[in-house]
Structure 1
């Protein structure tokens, strides 16, 4: 029976192994090259090219090298993060793909890896197994879980000649299956190939592209103004506006060439200053550091953009089965004849006689069994009832039994004393002439209408409802109770959905279940109320996209959903500029997961769903989606905080470059000092902001729109006010005679320029504190980001070290304590100015914050 080794080798050579071909992840080198397409990196590359052209004129190796290092660090760190996350997911995929199966080879039944299955293999499948290839049943019968395809938590009966699919789980039965398709040719494989396409651009990437254009315009305008001012000063002002002298200067070719070379160098320098070279690195640091934090919370981020996109979600399309529910049936209620409901068997124990008969009936009339505390065999209903009763010591011998069939609609077991029945109400209730009271007495029915109405009520809500009965005579039964069975909600589902709702995100539950079932579950979850709308696939399919959008504010549930419904909803909502999230675990979710802005797949879901997702929830906990949303918002805010800090320093430097020329101030900061400011300080500051804590208050805010500019009015206000103030302080520091009373006179103003360098760095540190919070208290939540404190302390003491030991390299000379204290006090004036700015905005009821 089965194939022999020679046939296996030939078939494997002809058809390949039983593996789904996955799109190869990019090599590190390719990812590195692709990272250079970042808009801000492009600006740096242009600046680098201009610098290289004029490098030999000014021999400005330090600044040119600085740009190279900035590009390298931003690209290298980004590439390492993406490459590492890809490898982490590949390891997860390989681990989850390690399945084994029983197969007949060389006339014997043996266990092999699922990857070794070939066409025409004969598999032996039984309860609890997972089918690893598509095939045809040759012998036996099965009850199969195909919810990963259909979205319905119902078993599907399979008989000889029926097709079974890779990824299905066996509820009950055993069978021999002849393999017909493996790997990419399976149903799961065909779906997988359809979802391995390029992911849409994240909202943050869209905003950054706009920001890069704005920054470049700012740089060009600033460069033009500074260059014009410099040429105007040299050609017109220095010649006292004398036309003859002006013309004579213009005709002086060597002199004009020197002016032009200086102007070109000044232009490139201003463009470099205007571009926040720490920004791409900051984004990468924040995304990658939070990805590691989330991995510790059992959340695997496959794509870095998945974190930040989750913070911008407007709507979450949430698959019911396996996401909001456990994906398995449980007994919800045991209802006695008088209508009293019991939710667990402990509540029944006070009715001893009633309890004994009820549990014996449920336990014996059941095809599932306990195996080392694990319930195996039986159908989903049997296993649900067994979970309710637990493992009991009932030793009554079963003399005869009748299995449940769709024709008779009941199951029965016979013991020495009783017949125990379980089945449809319409079949069993008419056989019951008596009922068992809670006191354990058999009493005659006066009316059965109350029981029938209860059954109808629960059935209309989509519950699975059965009647439990017993009797000494099979034609004269005693009604025991109603059994109400439902798919169990995850305990964390409702509070998580409440948090998501509070965050301004709309949730639409999508399920393959009947509308009544879906509405009932929706009410339990708090998703559905009197104004809510629930649609089935048939109702949805006849609506136009515009009609669906009109219903969107009240649309909460899609029942009897098909895969195309999910994909269509994603497309419609995205077309109206909504950021769409999708959760799911089955093959039927894969296309919608891929198409959505951010897809959340459950760790226990199919490999196809994981492959299509942005984030894999390893512990199947929907509360992790809340964490992802919180982290996403924290990341966006952290990036905005860093942009405030970065552009405040850049605006200050830009004003100094333009106004300084008009005031006749030559560049007071050397190239090496600029590298310290632009590279070391920006890099450390980026790292400091990347550890900003995720505050729960962020979930009280509405999500950002997809096309919202990254620089809002509050940010612009802080950048201009604080940047201008710092520039004014710096200009006054260099030009006011009173400053000479605090700083020693020296040849070449070496102490003045050292103090100026210290002032600039100290003001940068103060601005970082002002940028990290919109509160009047700049130290709010500061202890939750100890990295921020450590890094700023390091920058401060490193600057002190440079002042005293930088020497000729940094062009610094030791300051006295009085001089150093003066610079520090002057830099601290940033705090009252920023406090006043925030206070005025608050008093005017202007929205503040990032």
Structure 2
């Protein structure tokens, strides 16, 4: 559709803006900056801390420490060194470079071997974007409903054609023998007319306006969604979001601000310090030394009071920022051994020698404390470590949703890779906090009220994750479940399925956990939403019923998603759900209106011959009625506002019908009433006396052209009035009507065009001009559909209850 095409263009524009990256290359023996799209094979690229590797290739000179989490999902630093054998360098893992890796430390020159789509990253991205589009639950329901309506239309068309011929053969002619003695041309005319009438009924019955209405709804709301920081890339995304039953969401940057800061520092005896300057000097110097020499980053001390930190991960950045101006200090030490952080070890360690010969360790507090035998007091003295006091204080910090990072030193050398010294001295524990977004708690409450199970997936420790989930409102109910990645890995698929309805938090999560949870939730026939930002999130985002990518996420994840949340905000996710539900509401209103017309038109066409009305509506008139109920009605209902109260309803299960019992009552009661009122209009002497065919207006006294013209206007008007009934399930027909200007414009336009066609239609539309008095009678008959449906709604509210509109 045009709307989906426009949104995709907007998405590509945003991607292009995000990818305007400059790369430092050596050309003609001169270092220059070029755009990444201008990079070519054999270019020599200078890489420094903070850079992202722009292509595939190998290191030609220098050493680097890379974070390849965007490629592997593992937040660990990988060391790369220049190859001594340039011919075989591309096959050497130690010098191989891959696009999208992030430079944390070092400086080196890389030779480019592959660019763009030819890189590993590019090939994976291309594979994800070329996958077949899956139908949404709504599309499946609409396809099934369309088949049912079409079947109903075909059967109705055949019956109407038969009833037309039955009228001519038996009611008018008096039997087979008399009828077939008529001129052959007249018989052929009747047969052809019956066939054409059947075709027109099929055209009227088939809801060709429904796909257009969905496209119009999306295009009309696209700008509103963009203003709400929601970019719909694929139509099925916004269609399906209204039916979400479970949403797996990231924490960092989505529920929180995504900016870690050190809130508190605990000494080894549990003493609290809220600022770096507040720590006693001797202990403060050790904290500063240990952080600076065990946190890969580049420090630009151009502004001594506010040094610039480049290349650190979010945790490292927060720790370095905590040091203030101290971060720019230089130490006379050399790095001997480095063990980078990874999600398996949960610590990093650096052995330095020079002015101080120490092993510096920082990592998950529980890991660091387990290896500590002593702690440093405020005077820098070693004291035997008893964990009781600090553990109690740490528990308090965890309950306040802080991430705990332990810091320790040791005079022992680092031994085996991934093993800590046996005797360490605890320097202290940092409490880092990522502040909640102000709007997260009400947004989560809205989602839960809307019947969506919100599951937070985070890399934080269990206690911290639990505290954050409580603060944001995810853990308000009793008997809900908080699991860690390791606990999930020990459970079978069937075990997870049993506890999935109670699951609310997954702590210490890995990217593979997301894919597994999506697969299992879908196997329970749930409508699943998944958020993601990293490359390893892409499969889970792609496989979810609705994939949400974050605005600051990788291009690959964005390409895999159905909806891009431009501001990474959970409230924008709920806005997407609200607009998705509005789309479904609009479709249902359209269906009530259209199927009511179908029932009325088919009943009139079928029963008309038995009441002596041969063709109450001509084929041309039926085509106009089809335009009124399809094309124009699609525009009328497409502008319905996205009301906040829609978020108080439960999502519609996959297996539920698109048409509810209350909808059927409206369709059948109003449709049958229209049909019998139409037959009364055509056959009643009372009505005939209101529309007298005088000699001036009627050339054929056998045909009351005034009555037939009035009926044509009545049939269009009664359906136009019925739009008000279909708009709302409540008794207030004008509720929020001013927020849907397209509805008002379409209703007025139909009244105007119908009046105009009456006077200019002539033989084409079989119409003649009516007097003001006759128009008054037409309007009185047509408007009766409103009190009838109000009575239906009143009785429903009294005996069944009022459904949410």
The whole-number CA distance in structure 2 between the counterparts of 1:718 and 1:783 is 24
- For structure 1, the residue ranges without an aligned partner over 5 or more in a row are 1-77, 437-441, 470-477
The whole-number CA distance in structure 1 between the counterparts of 2:629 and 2:151 is 25
**In the alignment, structure 1 residue 665 sits paired with structure 2 residue 613:** yes
1:300–1:110 distance in 2 versus 1, CA, 3 Å: same
**In the alignment, structure 1 residue 231 sits paired with structure 2 residue 231:** no
Aligned to 1:8: none
- Summarize deviations over 1:121-140 as a string: whole Å, max 9, x none: 43211122111123444554
**In the alignment, structure 1 residue 148 sits paired with structure 2 residue 148:** no
Deviation at 1:317, TM superposition (A): 2.5
- Native 8 Å contact 2:454 2:474 kept in 1: yes
- Native 8 Å contact 1:98 1:113 kept in 2: yes
The whole-number CA distance in structure 2 between the counterparts of 1:685 and 1:267 is 23
Q: How does 1:352-751 map to 2 (within 5 A)?
A: 366=292, 368-369=299-300, 375-378=309-312, 380-388=314-322, 430=374, 432-434=376-378, 449-451=388-390, 453-455=392-394, 463-466=403-406, 482-486=429-433, 489-511=436-458, 518-528=465-475, 531-537=479-485, 539-541=487-489, 543-559=491-507, 561-680=509-628, 682-746=630-694, 747=698, 748-751=703-706
- For structure 2, the residue ranges without an aligned partner over 5 or more in a row are 83-93, 340-347, 410-424
Deviation at 1:744, TM superposition (A): 3.5
- Summarize deviations over 1:325-358 as a string: whole Å, max 9, x none: 555532243457896867x76xx9xxx9769999
Match of 2:237 among 303, 306, 313: 306
Aligned to 1:261: 192
1:822–1:510 distance in 2 versus 1, CA, 3 Å: same
Aligned to 2:345: none
1:776–1:358 distance in 2 versus 1, CA, 3 Å: farther
**In the alignment, structure 1 residue 95 sits paired with structure 2 residue 17:** yes
When the two structures are superposed, what TM-score results if normalisation uses the length of structure 1?
0.77
Specify the SS of the correspondent of 2:717. helix
**In the alignment, structure 1 residue 753 sits paired with structure 2 residue 692:** no
The whole-number CA distance in structure 1 between the counterparts of 2:645 and 2:799 is 23
- More moved, 169-178 vs 681-690: 169-178
**In the alignment, structure 1 residue 165 sits paired with structure 2 residue 98:** yes
Specify the SS of the correspondent of 1:112. strand
Paired positions, count: 744
**In the alignment, structure 1 residue 785 sits paired with structure 2 residue 740:** yes
Deviation at 1:321, TM superposition (A): 4.9
**In the alignment, structure 1 residue 201 sits paired with structure 2 residue 128:** no
- Summarize deviations over 1:425-459 as a string: whole Å, max 9, x none: 769994634469xxxxx9x9998852355357768
The whole-number CA distance in structure 2 between the counterparts of 1:432 and 1:163 is 42
- More moved, 724-733 vs 810-819: 810-819
Aligned to 2:209: 278
When the two structures are superposed, what TM-score results if normalisation uses the length of structure 2?
0.81
1:518–1:173 distance in 2 versus 1, CA, 3 Å: farther
The whole-number CA distance in structure 2 between the counterparts of 1:85 and 1:433 is 60
- Summarize deviations over 1:9-51 as a string: whole Å, max 9, x none: xxxxxxxxxxxxxxxxxxxxxxxxxxxxxxxxxxxxxxxxxxx
The whole-number CA distance in structure 1 between the counterparts of 2:539 and 2:136 is 18
- Native 8 Å contact 1:323 1:583 kept in 2: no
**In the alignment, structure 1 residue 293 sits paired with structure 2 residue 207:** no
- Summarize deviations over 1:744-768 as a string: whole Å, max 9, x none: 3333423222322222222122111
Match of 1:796 among 751, 760, 766: 751
The whole-number CA distance in structure 2 between the counterparts of 1:396 and 1:540 is 43
Deviation at 1:546, TM superposition (A): 2.8
1:465–1:543 distance in 2 versus 1, CA, 3 Å: closer
Specify the SS of the correspondent of 2:704. helix
- Native 8 Å contact 2:608 2:616 kept in 1: no
- Summarize deviations over 1:286-329 as a string: whole Å, max 9, x none: 12222332123332211112111111112223244554455553
1:454–1:176 distance in 2 versus 1, CA, 3 Å: farther
Specify the SS of the correspondent of 1:711. coil
Match of 1:221 among 155, 165, 171: 155
Specify the SS of the correspondent of 2:213. helix
Aligned to 1:192: 125
- More moved, 118-127 vs 310-319: 118-127
Aligned to 2:179: 249
- Summarize deviations over 1:502-531 as a string: whole Å, max 9, x none: 211123334456656554544444435763
Aligned to 1:73: none
Across the aligned residues of Structure 1 and Structure 2, the Cα RMSD in angstroms comes to: 4.1
The whole-number CA distance in structure 2 between the counterparts of 1:495 and 1:163 is 47
Deviation at 1:838, TM superposition (A): 0.8
- Native 8 Å contact 1:131 1:166 kept in 2: yes
The whole-number CA distance in structure 1 between the counterparts of 2:672 and 2:398 is 70
**In the alignment, structure 1 residue 111 sits paired with structure 2 residue 33:** yes
Specify the SS of the correspondent of 1:508. strand
The whole-number CA distance in structure 1 between the counterparts of 2:623 and 2:270 is 79
Deviation at 1:683, TM superposition (A): 2.1
- More moved, 131-140 vs 500-509: 131-140
Deviation at 1:480, TM superposition (A): 9.5
